[in-house]
Amino acid sequence: MPCLECENGLWRFGESGKCQYSSKSECETANADYYAEEIDNNNMEEEKKYYGDEEHDYHFNFTTDMMEKLHSEGELEVKVENDGQEMLILFTFDGGKEEEEVIIDKSDDKIIALMLDEELDDYINKLTDSIKKL
């Protein structure tokens, strides 16, 4: 059952759902348990594929909108139900924005002199450009 846009710009879950969600991703997130339960309960292999197997406790399928929200906002909250137990899961993503820390040995005079020379050269070039424009 898909999330559908209402005439007033809100979103609803299914044809008869209430227009209450501000975005499609909010609708899908709120109804994530439905997507997880889109299984033919008579087919045990299919059930293992989504709910778990010998190696995994639980399988979760992210929708495209869920992934977009996770990537853009850095977190995604999903409510799922498994064996009658409801879980609220927070997925986080830092976007690979790990910055490598640069450590400068301040006791090395050559490095400090080189850094100051580069800064001084940049300053002199900017000053020269400004004077030329006059």
pLDDT of residue 8: 92
Higher pLDDT, 118 or 106: 118
Decide: 90 and 75 in contact? Cβ < 8 Å.
yes
- Mean pLDDT across the chain, nearest whole number? 77
Q: How far is CA 87 from CA 45, 77, 82, 133, in A?
A: 23, 10, 8, 66
Decide: 60 and 78 in contact? Cβ < 8 Å.
yes
pLDDT of residue 51: 52
Q: Percent of the chain beyond pLDDT 70? A: 77
pLDDT of residue 45: 45
Give the pTM.
0.35
Answer yes or no: is pLDDT of 115 > 60. yes
Q: Which two tokens stand for residue 71?
A: 């990537």
* 62 residue type, one letter: F
pLDDT of residue 100: 67
Q: Which two tokens stand for residue 29?
A: 């997130």
Answer yes or no: is pLDDT of 70 > 80. yes
Dihedral of CA atoms 55, 59, 64, 68 in degrees, nearest 10, equals -80
